[in-house]
Structure 1
C-alpha cells in the first residue's frame, strides 16, 4: 500500500516555521522589535529600521527542496516579486531570506543567487532567470510570468537582497549551540528550554490570531517569558549559596600572590589590595560550595570565565587608549572599568565581591601559569620576570 506523504510534509513545513521563529527570537538583538509567523511571510523579523522576510523550506530527507526548477524556489521568487510590484519602495528597507534544513549543491541556482552581492553578478543571475522563464514547465509558468513583469533594475535589486541558508537544523531551526541566551546550560537543558519556549510561541500566536491581532511576538514579551522560565529551572538560586565570608584574614600571607603583584604594578593603595584579597578568597570559597552542591557545572564556569575575559578586554581597550601620563594610571583605570561591570551565571547577577574576586582569580599567576588578564599595559612581560615583578 502506497503512502501519500504530501500532508505530512506540509505539517512538517508548518512546524518548521515555528522552529525558525523561535530560533530567531532566541537570536534576536536589540534592534529586533517583533517577529511574525505566517504574517507577511513565513517568518518576518521586524527591525527598528526595516524588515527581514523569510521563506522556510523543510524537507524530510537530506536532499534539497531548492533545485533549479523546483516549485519551492520559483514560488518564493514569485511571492517576493509580487510584493515589490505591489509596493516598489519595500526593496529599500527589506532583506529576503530563504532558509532550508536541506543541503544545497555548490553550483545550484539558489547558491549562485546567494553569492550575487554586486551589480555585475546580479546582472548575470537576472539574465539567467529571464533565459529560463520561456522553458519552465507548466506548473512554474505563473511564477515565471510574475518575475518577467519586474524591470531588470527591480529584479537585480531583489537578487542582491536575497540570502540563502541551508543545513539549518530540522529540530531547532538552527544550531542550538550557537544561541548565546542558552550558552551556560547543559545540552539536555538547552533542548528543554528551547522546546518550552517553542510551545509558548505556538500558543501565543494562536491566541493572537483568535483575538484578531497580528501574529507577531514582541522581543520584549519573549524575553520576559524566557527570564521567567530561567528562574523556574534554576532550582537553587546561586546567591542563596553565597555565604558571608570571614573578614579576619592575615593580609601579609598573600603579598607574594600573583594577583597582588599585579595591583602593586599599578600602585594602588593598601585598602584596595586588602579588599582584593578578601574578594579573591570569597570567590574561591564560593566556587567550592557551588561545586560541592552541584549547582554550577564546570561547563557553566568555563563560560563564565570566557565572559569575564571579554569584560576585561573591553575595559582594557578603553583604558589603554586614554591619554594618562603614566602606565600605572592606565592600569588603575583598567582595574576600575573592569571591576565595575556586573557578571552573570545562569543569567543571575553575581554579588560584587564574587565578580571582583573572580576577576582577581583570572589575574592571578604562578611560576608555571600565566595570568589570563591584567591591569598594567605590560602585565604579561612583568609576570615573566621583569625587574618590576
Structure 2
C-alpha cells in the first residue's frame, strides 16, 4: 500500500492512514462481490486479496491526499513498485485463477499506453513492448552509472524494472493479461459515505448509522484476524449478518455500545467543572484521568444515542434520575460522616463518593440496558452529571462551586 500526503507528515501517520484505507476499501470490495461466499483478507498476498467465484483478485492500493495527484503513466514509481510485487508473487499463485488490480486515486495520463489496462481482454502487445523497453532503459542507466562511479538513478523504479525483466517472455505476457488498472479511485474520506449509499435495501434513516457501526465492527474483525483470534479471511455473509443484526437493533430501539472500547485522542478536552469537582476532594492524577476518559466515552455515547431517536434520549433522561437517586444515598452519608468545619474530613468523605462513582456504582446501580455491559457508561454519566452540578463529591460542593440551590 502506498499513501502520499499533500504535506510532510510523520511516517507513522502515513502508514496508519494507508492501513485504514485498505480496511475500508476491502469492506466495500467484499460487499460488492458477486458471490455469497466471497472472502477478503488485508495484507495477505497483497494489500487486499478478494476470493470469489473460485478466483483470487490481488489489489495494490495507491492513495494520496493531494488535491491533484500526479497522473500515472509508464514512468510512474507506483506502477513499477507494483510490478515488482506481482512479479515476485507469480511463482506462488495460479495465474489461471488469479487477477491483479492497481487501484489509484491518481488520474491516468491522457497519452499513456496504460489505457488498455482499463478494458478486460484488450490487446496489450504494444504496452508489453513499451514496458520492456522502459525497464531495459532504466537498468541500462543504472548500470552505466555504476560503471562510471556515479550515484545510481531510478532508485525507486529499478527494483521493479529488474523484477519485470527477470520474468520470461511468457510470464510477462501472462501477467499483463491479468492486470486491471483503476485510476481515479475514491479517497479515504469518501469510502464510509459510499458504503452507506450501497445499503439501499435498508431504510434511508438507518444507513448512516448502519455504515458507521458496521465499520466499527469491521475494524475489530480485521484486528482479530491479524492477531490470530479469528480466521484470516473475512466472509461476505458475516458482513451481511452484521448489517441485519444492527438494523434489527435500530428498529427495536435497543441501545448499542459504541464507546466502551474506544479511547479519546491523545489530546482532548473535558469541561473544567469536572476537574474542579475532583480537585475539591483531593483526587489524584490517576483518578482524574479515569474520570476524564469515562466522561469522554459517556458524553459521546449519550450524544450518539440522542441523535438516533427521541425514545433513546428519553431512556438517557430516565436513567439519569436513577443515577442521581443512587448518588444521593452515598452523598448524604458523606455529609453525615464528615466532621463539621473540618476540611480534611470533608475531602476524605467526598473522595469516598467519587471512588464509589468510578469503581462500584456500575455494579450497584445496574445497567441502562442489558446490551450495555461495560461500566464506562455509569462512570462517565456521573462525570457528566457532576459538570451539570446535579451530583458532586464534596459534601459542600454546591456552595463551593457556585451551583444554585434547587428550588
Q: Could you state the TM-score of these two structures normalised by the residue count of structure 1?
A: 0.53
In the alignment, what sits opposite 1:140?
157
User: Does structure 1 residue 233 correspond to structure 2 residue 238?
Assistant: no
Structure 2 match to 1:198: 215
CA–CA distance in structure 2, aligned partners of residues 156 and 174 of structure 1: 37
Change (3 A) 1:68 1:178: farther
Where does residue 87 of structure 2 map in the other structure? 81
Match of 2:128 among 120, 126, 129: 126
1:204 deviates by 0.6
CA contact (8 A) 1:98 1:163 kept: yes
Structure 1 partner of 2:237: 220
8 Å CA contact retained: 2:105, 2:183: yes
Whether the aligned pair in 1 keeps the contact of 2:117 and 2:179 (CA below 8 Å) is: yes
Aligned equivalents of 2:166, 2:124: Cα separation in 1: 17
2:194 to 165, 172, 176: 176
SS of 2:111's equivalent?
Answer: coil
Give 1:96 shift: 0.8
Measured against aligned partners, the alpha-carbon deviations of 1:344-371 in whole angstroms (never above 9, x if no partner) come to xxxxxxxxxxxxxxxxxxxxxxxxxxxx
Q: Shift of residue 230 of structure 1?
A: 1.4
Give 3-state SS (helix, strand or coil) of 2:245's partner.
helix
- CA displacement at 1:231 relative to structure 2: 1.1
Secondary structure, counterpart of 1:221 in structure 2:
helix
1:139-288 map, 5 Å = 139-170=156-187, 171-173=189-191, 176=194, 180-186=198-204, 189-211=206-228, 215-235=232-252
**Distance (Å, rounded) in 2 between the aligned partners of 1:108 and 1:32:** 37
Measure, in 2, the Cα distance between the counterparts of 1:178 and 1:105.
Answer: 31
Question: Which whole-Å CA distance do the structure 1 matches of 2:42 and 2:110 have between them?
Answer: 30
Q: CA deviation at 1:148?
A: 0.5
Q: Secondary structure, in 3 states, of the residue corresponding to 1:153?
A: helix
Within 2, Cα distance between the matches of 1:165 and 1:50? 19
Provide the secondary structure at the position in 2 that maps to 1:211. Answer: coil
Deviation at 1:218, TM superposition (A): 1.3
In 1: Cα distance, 2:10 partner to 2:51 partner: 31
Q: Does the C-alpha gap of structure 1 residues 19 and 172 become closer, same or farther in structure 2, counting only changes over 3 Å?
A: farther
Aligned to 1:101: 105
- Cα distance in 2 for partners of 1:108, 1:194 equals 37
| SS of residue in 2 equivalent to 1:106 | coil
Over 3 Å counting, the alpha-carbon distance change for 1:99 and 1:22 in structure 2 is same
Say if 1:12 and 1:111 are closer, same or farther in 2 by CA, change over 3 A.
farther
1:3 positional shift: 6.3
Q: 1:179 to 1:44 in 2, by over 3 A?
A: farther
| Gapped regions of structure 1 (runs ≥ 5) | 238-389
* SS state at 2:165 partner: helix
Flag the structure with larger Rg: 2
1:116–1:122: 8 Å Cα contact kept in structure 2?
A: no
Q: Which moved more, 1:28-37 or 1:136-145?
A: 28-37
The 1:102–1:191 alpha-carbon spacing in structure 2 relative to 1, beyond 3 Å, is farther
Give the equivalent residue in structure 1 for 2:317. none
Q: Does 1:69 align with 2:75?
A: yes
CA distance in 1, matches of 2:18, 2:71: 11
Counterpart in 1 of 2:45?
Answer: 40
Q: Does 1:28 align with 2:33?
A: yes
The alpha carbon displacement at 1:11 in A equals 2.6
Query: Could you tell me the TM-score, scaled by structure 2's length?
Result: 0.51
**Structure 2 residue aligned with 1:60:** 65
Contact 2:196–2:210 (8 Å) recurs in 1: no
Number of equivalenced pairs: 233
CA distance in structure 2 between the aligned counterparts of 1:37 and 1:13, rounded to whole angstroms: 12
Q: CA deviation at 1:164?
A: 1.5
Contact 2:36 2:237 in 1 (8 A): no
Structure 2 CA distance for partners of 1:215 and 1:65, relative to 1, 3 Å: farther
Unaligned runs of 5+ in 2: 1-5, 139-153, 255-407
Q: Deviations over 1:200-230 (max 9, x none)?
A: 1221111122226553211222221111111
Deviation of 1:176 after TM superposition, in Å, equals: 1.9
**For residues 195 and 43 of structure 2, what CA distance do their matches in structure 1 show?**
26
* RMSD (CA atoms): 3.1
Matches of 1:31 and 1:157 in 2, distance apart?
Answer: 29
- Tell me the distance in 2 between the aligned counterparts of 1:102 and 1:191: 28
